[in-house]
Structure 1
Amino acid sequence: MNPPKRLRTTEDEAETPTGGQEEEDRAVDVSIVMPMYNASCWLDECLQAILNQDYTGTVELSVFDDASTDDSRTVVEGWRQRLEARGISVVISGHTSAQPRGVGYAKNKAVSQSCGQYLCFQDADDVMFPQRVALQYEASVLHPNSLIGCKVQRVPEGSTERYARWINMISQDQLLTQVYTSHGPTVVMPTWFCSRNWYLKVGPFNEGGKGVPEDLIFFYQSLRQGGGVVRVDQCLLVYRYHEKATTHSVTEETIWKLRVDFLQERVLSQWESFTIWNAGKQGRKLYRSLNPTNQKKVKAFCDVDENKIQKGFYTYEDSKQRPKPKVPVLHYKDASAPFIICVKLDMTGGVLEENLNSLQLKEGTDYYHFN
């Protein structure tokens, strides 16, 4: 690696690095982008893992502290000498306002003060495996207009078991077809790696602060720009679950609206009619969330519950139309594609999957999962 350069540390907000010869001298292959807020208890493990990377190109660590009230800044400064001795240049900045400004803001600041051609996003509470930067860098060079993810090890073991299984087990094709499920991005944000040029084309991250799913907003915008989604099929990150994680501040309704809007934009706008698979609570909620044009495209609900089927119709009581819309409820074998599946994945003991397979349907053409 190139000899380390000691870079400035500023107590004020990080600004875009100055241009000219100085910026050219700082150019590196990969910037590890790390927003930070009260992460002191995890930082030693996180930074040791960065030190242990087996990537042989040039690396920079760019940290932006979002008004931590613990000793996070001191801990990171304590690692500067070891990181620079390994050839990893370090940029640390932040702000000391009374309140944090949110993870989207901190990510943008950490990116703007960095100079790598490629960006490796790292949460301060997670831990990289030694091969992460090298393998994701290789994938990103091959797919420069894509978000690159990887498989993860979820800790504590057993936490969010279904979610962790979904992260690691969906196929490459499903990385694109399952973008409307409730889980969020099909490659999870703590595993993202991309070219700087792609970040600049898609971004920046939404800076709305607490409660804003800046990762899902960016992910959808990347897809709108024609971006790809790629997963390195090795476990390259320890993905930590804890009660203080920022994801817990995002409400289900916020995510729901984003997903419905994206589904209408990308799928339903292309279909003349469709069936909602689930005549229960989730299926009816989807129907009510659709715009009037797409509500009219719903030709039926389908289900396996005989009680729902025997009722014959779902009546949209809150509709302002007169007469109120009445949508038929059918057995799934009597319904026709395309379908929006509003049944939770991995929750029926394989029954849903067997039923879908029995109809010989193709995901991404004949149906999409929404739940």
Structure 2
Amino acid sequence: MKISVVIPMYNSEKTITTCINSVLNQTFRGEIEIIVVNDGANDNSKTIVEELILNNSSSIDIRLINKVNGGVSTARNAGMKVADGDWIALLDSDDEWSANKLERQIQVLKENPAIDFLGACRNGEKFSNILWKKLGDLNKISSRDLLAKFVFIVPTVIFKKEILSTVGYFDENLRFAEEGIFFIKIAQNYNCYLLNESLAFTGGGKPHFGHSGLSGNLKEMEKGELKNLRELLNLKIINYFEYLLLVAFSLLKYIRRIIIVKLR
């Protein structure tokens, strides 16, 4: 089992070393490759990664791909397309993994070979429920579960590379909420599970929305979410009545987030 870790990078000179080191320091002893995709950074990010590659004494291969700036979806896709692993794990350049992240997830995957996609939690948190559905330690997550509560966090997920041949890649026209439709499509077609343990540390502990970074632009995030709902309707994953309910629910969440940010 080989794991390809795909890290999109843009102007991440302050965080990329910690990010990559969190992969190099994994307790998992299987085969790993790191693919860093430089999405046209104009700071020192590229030089820092080149130095890490030059001084890398571990058994983990680090590759750097340079491309013109096109957004996080284009960068993730570029990395996934050249991945050699049987499994792909995603990590963002301002996030890091717990030392046992891969070891714990691979243990679960070996014990449950029917799982195609496995997410986890972050920042010491756990999910207690999705609406009236109580969540335990390991939970099967459907596409409809994700419509009610989005429990899959990008830097925690690992999935079979073969999924890409069926579902495709991230929508490169989306710069916000890009993971939403991608993960829902996967959950519609494959066995997706949530390991209800915190195995990643994201965004330096900053709030999950309304702060710097891509998640900071609440308006654009909402536009991305509404676009995802329209595509789900077109794909007939939801019907028109469900679409209207979900749009209303999304707008209410958007208003709530604006109020929370203003009161912070």
TM-score normalised by L of structure 2:
0.76
Alignment of 1:201-350 (within 5 A): 201-211=166-176, 213-224=177-188, 226-240=189-203, 241=206, 243-249=211-217, 250-259=220-229, 262=232, 265-266=236-237, 268=239, 286=244
1-structure distance, mates of 2:102, 2:34: 12
> Which residue of structure 1 lines up, in the alignment, with residue 59 of structure 2?
87
Aligned alpha-carbon RMSD (Å):
3.3
CA contact (8 A) 2:139 2:193 kept: no
- Structure scoring higher RCO (CA < 8 A, sep ≥ 6) equals 2
2-structure distance, mates of 1:115, 1:144: 22
Question: What is the aligned residue count?
Answer: 237
Matched, 1:169 2:136: no
CA contact (8 A) 2:116 2:192 kept: yes
Task: Flag structure 2 segments of 5+ consecutive residues without an equivalent.
Answer: 130-134, 257-264
Deviation of the 1:200 alpha carbon: 2.8
2-structure distance, mates of 1:228, 1:110: 23
In 2 relative to 1, CA 93–59 (structure 1 residues): closer, same or farther, beyond 3 Å?
Answer: same
Opposite residue 73 of structure 2, the aligned amino acid is G
Deviation of the 1:173 alpha carbon: 5.5
1-structure distance, mates of 2:72, 2:184: 18
TM-score normalised by L of structure 1:
0.56
Matched, 1:122 2:95: no
CA contact (8 A) 1:31 1:59 kept: yes
**After TM superposition, where is structure 1 displaced by more than 6 Å over at least 4 residues in a row?**
340-344
> Which residue of structure 1 lines up, in the alignment, with residue 261 of structure 2?
none
CA contact (8 A) 1:62 1:91 kept: yes
Aligned match of 1:198 in 135, 151, 163? 163
CA contact (8 A) 2:7 2:37 kept: yes
CA contact (8 A) 1:129 1:236 kept: yes
Deviation of the 1:122 alpha carbon: 0.7
Task: Flag structure 1 segments of 5+ consecutive residues without an equivalent.
Answer: 1-27, 155-164, 277-284, 291-339, 348-371
Opposite residue 220 of structure 1, the aligned amino acid is I
In 2 relative to 1, CA 130–287 (structure 1 residues): closer, same or farther, beyond 3 Å?
Answer: closer
In 2 relative to 1, CA 67–209 (structure 1 residues): closer, same or farther, beyond 3 Å?
Answer: farther
> Which residue of structure 2 lines up, in the alignment, with residue 101 of structure 1?
70
Opposite residue 200 of structure 1, the aligned amino acid is S
> Which residue of structure 1 lines up, in the alignment, with residue 116 of structure 2?
146
Matched, 1:187 2:152: yes
In 2 relative to 1, CA 287–202 (structure 1 residues): closer, same or farther, beyond 3 Å?
Answer: closer
2-structure distance, mates of 1:257, 1:209: 9
Deviation of the 1:221 alpha carbon: 1.5
CA contact (8 A) 1:152 1:168 kept: no
Opposite residue 121 of structure 2, the aligned amino acid is K
Identity %: 20
Q: Secondary structure at the match of 2:162?
A: helix
1-structure distance, mates of 2:101, 2:230: 34
CA offset digits 1:25-80 (Å, max 9, x no partner): xxx71111111111111112112211210111111111110000111111112222
In 2 relative to 1, CA 173–342 (structure 1 residues): closer, same or farther, beyond 3 Å?
Answer: farther
Of stretches 171-180 and 59-68 in structure 1, the one that deviates more from structure 2 is: 171-180
CA contact (8 A) 1:36 1:124 kept: yes
2-structure distance, mates of 1:341, 1:38: 31
Opposite residue 86 of structure 2, the aligned amino acid is Q
| Higher helix proportion | 2
2-structure distance, mates of 1:114, 1:219: 19
CA offset digits 1:83-103 (Å, max 9, x no partner): 4x22001111112x3xx2011
Q: Secondary structure at the match of 2:228?
A: helix
Q: Secondary structure at the match of 2:47?
A: helix
